[in-house]
Amino acid sequence: MSVEQNQFLYTALGSDNDKDILKVNIFFTVEHLDLIESLEIGNIIRIQRLNVTGVPRSGDLSDERKNILSKVDFEHKNTSFVVFSSDMNSDYSPLISTSETYSFNAKDREIIERMRKDWNNTLRETWESYFKEKKIPIQSCTSIENLKANQFVCVLTKVIDKTISIASSKKATLILWDGTGDDMSFAAGSSENEQPLIGNTIQCHTWNEEIIRQCEEDINVGMWVYICGAKTNIYQEILELKLFKTSAVRVMEEDSPQVKLVLKNYREKIRAFAGNTLNDGIKGSDEEDENEDNILETPLKKTRRNSTEEDENEDNIDETVYENVIVTDTPYPHIPITTIEDVKAASNQVPNKFKIHVSLVQHIPLNILDFTRILCINDGCGKTSQYRDENVNPDLITCLHCGSGSHVFIYLFKLIVKDQTGELPIIFYYEATKFLNLHPTNLYIDKKSLGHIEDKMNFLKKPRVSFDLCIQSYYEEGKEETLENIKYQAFDTKLLISEKTNKKK
């Protein structure tokens, strides 16, 4: 499902018999959002000015090619949309109406009576059974990295955290992951030594009683779920999903073809970033694909192991040659070093600043091409967006939030660092320009800057290379002030790596 700027698209499936499906693409603006969100399965809908765009082909009920395609645009002045209840005991007053001139007549009453009888006697059971058994086409799902604001979407994801909260009203929140994107995440309950998952996450909220009950009783951390009819929303500059009574949530088996395909794509992404040295650690044949446990548990561990082995053998360089190289410069030589263990122990003192001495484990995104993003400078926006296609004309890159072409490039990436006491992800944002001593650009086009950054990252990964790094702790904006929402950002640190240093033998 996709939308034009400032317009939503909602796809509904309807029927008045036990054989045919009418697929209706409904285009609307925020003015009619409450109307769409209030729709329930079984509602009887009278649409005026419905445009049929495709006729059905032969096939059985489960064949989507048999769907009758149609669309309706609420913005057209002659469009009307009237909703009635399917309850046999309800009167004939519309639940919802977008028409100021609609007049209920005897023909409408006759049709509604027939549809109510059909729905309650046979159609409810027929269609509920159909949707329960219906195979989910994976191509209908939107990946987390491709989600944009103001869409109704379907997603296939793994639940990595779940909370049920009660404030002014009861709310369920799921944190979802599907292996796309280049962020780093930990599943709820992970130990400090457990390996992270590579990929973006998104929070999914619902206040609907039935879906909350489903989250409490049927959905646990670690399960895969298919969610349809979720709306993407931006709250306090963070993209999230919201579920309504029209949304559907279904638990998926781990060995289902759809989940296997998601995991297969995840494996291929890890291979592409880490190189063929992962082939011995990540299964590749269809027969071996049946056991996916290692794929989700150790992707970073495998890249670390193999990259370390490569570095140790690279040109037979003596590791000790890098042991005393001064890699970074900070204006605080008098500040003592704090261990990562002590940084984490200071979680009750946020915000705070520290100087740590660490080595680089990995960078996120794994693809250095994605170290920069665009920052919209259009009045009233000021949000960041990703860009990923080197074939796109730079003049055509636009903000994913407002559509503006006015932007500047900024850095946004993480370095996973470690010392003898633990590991810590460090965010590099505005201070990354000082750290790299390079202005942010479109790295898909600026190959020179890309090469410089690649050289610096490769050097930092070498054995025995360690460096000072100034960091500050803070709570993630818009989140509760809890332990899991503490983030760390670099500041006042500059890399001293030059081409000469990087090639030192």
Does residue 362 form part of some domain?
yes
Residue type, 70: S
Per-residue pLDDT of 336-389, as tens digits, reads 999 999 999 888 889 999 999 999 998 988 888 889 988 888 877 877 877 755
Per-residue pLDDT of 179-237, as tens digits, reads 887 776 655 554 444 556 778 889 999 998 889 999 999 999 889 999 988 888 887 67
3-state helix vs strand vs coil in the chain, percent to 5: 30, 30, 40
Q: Two tokens at 102?
A: 């609609």
Q: Two tokens at 136?
A: 């989910």
Return mean pLDDT, the chain: 76
CA distance 281 to 306: 10
pLDDT at 435 over 90: yes
Per-residue pLDDT of 104-148, as tens digits, reads 788 888 888 888 888 888 877 777 666 655 554 444 688 888 888
Does residue 306 form part of some domain?
no
- How many H helices and E strands in the chain? 11, 25
What pLDDT does 481 receive? Answer: 84
CA distance 472 to 447: 31
CA distance 462 to 440: 24
Which residue among 134, 161, 186 closes a domain? 134
The string of DSSP letters for 12-55 reads EEE-SSSS--EEEEEEE-GGGHHHHHT--TT-EEEEES-EEEEP
pLDDT at 38 over 60: yes
Does residue 283 form part of some domain?
no
Does residue 23 form part of some domain?
yes
Q: Which 3 state secondary structure label does DSSP give 244?
A: coil
pLDDT: which is higher, 38 or 427:
427
- Residue 274 CB contacts under 8 Å (≥ 6 apart), including other chains: 299, 302, 303, 306, 307, 366
Q: Check which CATH number belongs to the domain holding 58 and give it.
A: 2.40.50.140
Which residue among 134, 160, 191 closes a domain? 134
Q: Cβ distance 215 to 174 under 8 Å?
A: yes
CA distance 3 to 9: 6
pLDDT at 464 over 90: no
What share of the chain has pLDDT > 70, as a percent? Answer: 72
- The answer to whether residues 129 and 156 belong to one domain is no
- The answer to whether residues 120 and 190 belong to one domain is no
Residue type, 415: L
- The answer to whether residues 253 and 381 belong to one domain is no
Does residue 189 form part of some domain?
yes
CA distance 282 to 285: 10
Per-residue pLDDT of 403-432, as tens digits, reads 777 888 899 999 999 999 999 999 998 899
pLDDT: which is higher, 191 or 268:
268
68 torsion bin: left (phi>0), alpha (psi -120 to 50), beta (else): beta
- The answer to whether residues 394 and 365 belong to one domain is yes
Its domain, for residue 452, covers: 317-502
- The answer to whether residues 419 and 352 belong to one domain is yes
The number of folded domains in the chain is 3
Handedness of CA 68, 71, 77, 79 (dihedral sign): positive
What pLDDT does 246 receive? Answer: 75
Does residue 307 form part of some domain?
no
pLDDT: which is higher, 302 or 166:
166
Does residue 65 form part of some domain?
yes
CA distance 241 to 203: 6
Q: Which 3 state secondary structure label does DSSP give 448?
A: helix
